[in-house]
Amino acid sequence: MGRTLSKLWLAFWQLLPANPILVRVVAGGSKRVRHLWLRAGYLIVLLAVVGFALLQNMGGVGASLTDLAKGASRTFMYASYAQLLLMCFLAPVFTASAITQEKDAQTFNILISTPLSNAQIVLGSLMSRLYFVMMLLIAGLPIFLITMVYGGVTTKQVLVSFALAGSTAGLTGALAIFVAMIGVGTRRTIFSFYLLIALYLLTVYLFGNWSSTWVAESEANLEGVRMSWLTPLHPFLALDVALNRVYAPEYTRLGSYHGLVRYALAYPSAFYAAWTLTVSVLLVAISVLFVRRGIKTGETTWFTSLVDRIKPRKTGERKREPRTVWANPVAWREASTKAIGGGLLRWAIILGGLVAGVIVFIFYAGGTLPAMQVRRWLAAITLVQFSAALLIATNTAATSITKEREAQTMDLLLSTPLTSKYILWGKLRGLVSFATPLLIGPMITLLVFALYDWAKGNSPPVAWIETAVELCAVLVLFTSMGCVIGLNHSIKRKTNMAAVMWSVGVTILGAGLVSMVGAALIQAVDAGPATFVAPFTPVTSILYLVDPAALFGHSTKEFLAGSGAARFSALFGSLIAVGVYVLLVWRTYTTLVRDFDMTIRKQST
């Protein structure tokens, strides 16, 4: 018995604490200056959120204990959302490197030729990537404990908040390792990985807030919102329940449901943690089986045979009909790129938007869906479509220079007579041409609704004819802004990964922050001035132009009653916003041109 226990302990010791892959990362990673800055940045953001929330919510000197407890509870809520949001962004960033790192560094074959077991390789790779994310979580714990001092926050709530963030990070890591081990990981996969996570979080959250998905047995909160069926599948919806913002139905009231569903609905946070953990373990187990299956070296396995049946692999020289190159070759290259976000993914997003629009239109024309609901749906579709377009455009821009550097084509370009101005203008023009079709779905849908209502004489219509044009203009400009942010980081950062991480981070944070400020301003001022503020931020502009009732809090019919003024302010506000963003994009572009030579040459030496 003693010998068995000793063997088990030794196996565990070799698997995790003494795993050489993990030891290398733990010993070396913590000392890296970049990691130190990231840890500091993460804690600063959390501290700032908690600090501001405490200042705003804790009342004055004479605040009662109840006020203090309520204030602490609200502070905890903000901190929990901030933590989960940061985890959803940082966990994919750190774990996604698993997908290409070994392949890029060509170290994988060396690794599998060592006596390390499959489990050691998989768990070492996974834990070495999750280590940093988990350290961030632990580092933030004292900040959460501050909120417990005033009461109003229970230990269970803190644990649930950390469990949701931790299990989300764990699942992301396991998914990245799985993709890396089955050998389908390329740079495109990394971006698809980000995009799918972002789209999943956004789409499920939007559906979760749709009344048709609400569980009838759950109690409505003060705003009349009930828990959704999707809550056990989404970390933010589950967090809403943990923070008592939405109420989960009691277990006893769910007698008509069977075992697992009943448990999932009654305890959504626990169920979320449980299923993510189960899926993570499954993914790791499958990865362990795949490590030495030879799939990475091009050998035929059942998986490649399956893929080959669907899409046969081409060997040797591949051919294609040549396309016509534009007069500006750099713009042509960017616009016609089939790299990240190109091809299938791009078409899936364009067609997805159009199909969703057609479905909503069929319901509207059939009289099943009222105009107000249609607007909400159109706003949701536009928001999802715009988020995808912005992420794809920012990511493609972020890799446009680093990709040239890694493919070693930058030197070829720099030895031609093309100037920095010409190269960057070409890149920007190509990127905008590439991203604009991604926004075409919502525009066409809006136009169809506007024309339909105009032909039918419906008043007020779902959308005005000019709304599609206004929306197109502001969204293209927001996307252009994402492109110049991406280009800026593509020039400054040395690797694809760093450029993507910075660009996407800055864009998401920037778009989110200005949208929050815009929404707060709109709530604070009268409807008149608010109509001029709304087009300046991505989320408020979509809501303002597509579903104004969601933004202004009164019925769309009332808002549109003075339609002439409303239409004029929308047009005028959009024009000013477009002008301001054109100036911002131009200013950033000219700065990039000025810095281009210096930065690129500095990097090459």
Partner 1 sequence: MSTSPPRRFPRPRVSESGSAREDTILIIQTINLTKRYGKLVALNNLQLNIEEGECFGYIGPNGAGKTTTIKILATLLQPTWGEARVCGHVVGYESRKIRPLIGYVPDFFGAYEDMVVQEYLEFFASAYGITGKQRKKVVGDVLELTDLRGKIDALVDSLSRGMQQRLSVARVLLHDPRVLLLDEPASGLDPRARIEMRELLKELRNMGKTIIISSHILHELAELCTTVGIIEQGELMFHGPLDEIIRRVKTGTRLHVRVTEQSDLAALLLEKSEAVKGVEMRNGHLVVDLAQQTSDYSPIARLLLKNNFRIHEIREEEINLETAFMRLTKGIVQ
Binding site for partner 1 (CB under 8 A): 316-330, 332-333, 337-339, 342, 407-419, 601, 604-605
CA distance 573 to 160: 43
Q: What is the C-alpha end-to-end distance of the chain, expressed in Å?
A: 63
Least distance in Å: CB of 214 to partner 1?
Answer: 46
Distance of CA 58 to the CA centre of its chain: 32
Name the β-bridge partners of 561.
Answer: none
Q: Which is nearer to partner 1, 27 or 327 (CB)?
A: 327
Judged by beta carbon, residue 184 or residue 418, the one nearer partner 1 is 418
Beta bridge partners of residue 214, listed in sequence order: 228
For the CB of residue 420, give the shortest distance to partner 1 in the complex, in Å. 11
Q: Nearest distance from residue 598's CB to partner 1, in Å? A: 11
Answer yes or no: are the C-beta atoms of 143 and 50 closer than 8 Å.
Answer: yes
Q: What are the tokens at 1?
A: 């018995």
Work out how close the CB of 350 gets to partner 1 at its nearest, in angstroms, rounded to a whole number.
19
Count of Cβ atoms closer than 10 Å to residue 111 Cβ:
16
Whichever of 311 and 319 has its CB closer to partner 1, that residue is: 319
* Amino acid (one-letter) located at 445: T
Alpha-carbon span 93 to 121, nearest angstrom = 20
Residues 407, 399: Cα–Cα separation, whole Å? 11
| Nearest distance, CB of residue 515 and partner 1, angstroms | 34
Nearer to partner 1, 186 or 373 (CB): 186
Query: Are 494 and 603 in contact, with CB atoms under 8 Å apart?
Result: yes
Q: Which is nearer to partner 1, 311 or 320 (CB)?
A: 320
Nearer to partner 1, 311 or 318 (CB): 318
> Which of 338, 456 has the CB closer to partner 1?
338
Q: Of 335 and 380, which CB lies nearer to partner 1 in the complex structure? A: 335
- Smallest distance from partner 1 to CB 155, Å: 53
Q: How many Å apart are CA 387 and CA 398, to the nearest integer?
A: 16
Name the minimum Å distance from CB 313 to partner 1: 12
Backbone angles phi, psi at 293, to 5 degrees: -85, 0
**Rounded least distance, CB 335 to partner 1, Å:** 12
Residue 263 phi/psi, 5-degree rounding, is: -65, -45
Q: Which is nearer to partner 1, 359 or 412 (CB)?
A: 412
Contacts 24+ apart (CB under 8 A), 488-495: 488/588, 488/592, 489/398, 490/397, 490/398, 490/399, 490/400, 490/401, 490/402, 491/401, 491/592, 491/595, 491/596, 491/599, 491/600, 492/599, 493/402, 494/402, 494/405, 494/603, 495/402, 495/406
Give the nearer residue to partner 1 in terms of CB position, either 387 or 402. 402
Q: Which is nearer to partner 1, 1 or 327 (CB)?
A: 327
3 state DSSP class of 228: strand
Q: Is the Cβ of residue 129 or residue 405 nearer to partner 1 in the bound state? A: 405
- The distance of closest approach from Cβ of residue 105 to partner 1 in the complex, given in angstroms and rounded to an integer, is 18
What are the C-alpha distances in Å from 152 to residues 58, 71, 72, 155, 223?
12, 8, 6, 10, 21
- What is d(CA 283, CA 276) in angstroms, rounded to the nearest whole number? 10
Residue 106: which region, alpha, beta or left (left: phi > 0; alpha: psi -120 to 50)?
Answer: left
Minimum gap (Å) between residue 138 Cβ and partner 1: 39
Q: Which residue has the tokens 């070409």?
A: 426
Closest separation between CB of residue 410 and partner 1, Å? Answer: 8
Question: Which CB sits closer to partner 1, 113 or 315?
Answer: 315
In the complex, the smallest distance separating the C-beta of residue 333 from partner 1, rounded to whole angstroms, is: 7
Give the span between the Cα atoms of 144 and 153, in whole angstroms.
9
Euclidean distance between CA atoms 587 and 67, whole angstroms: 47
What 3-state class would DSSP assign to 394?
A: helix
Q: Is residue 227 within 8 Å of 247, Cβ to Cβ?
A: yes
Minimum distance of partner 1 from residue 85's CB (angstroms): 33
Alpha-carbon distance of 355 to 346, in angstroms, equals: 14
Helices 235-242 and 268-290: angle between axes, nearest 10 degrees: 150
Shortest spacing between CB 259 and partner 1, in angstroms: 50
Q: Smaller CB distance to partner 1: residue 67 or 406?
A: 406
- Whether 500 and 395 have beta carbons less than 8 Å apart is answered as yes
Q: Residue 35 or 421: which CB sits closer to partner 1?
A: 421
Contact 330, 427 (CB under 8 A): yes
Q: How far is CA 256 from the centre of its chain?
A: 36
Minimum distance between the CB of residue 500 and partner 1, rounded to whole angstroms?
A: 16
> Longest C-alpha distance within the chain, in Å?
86
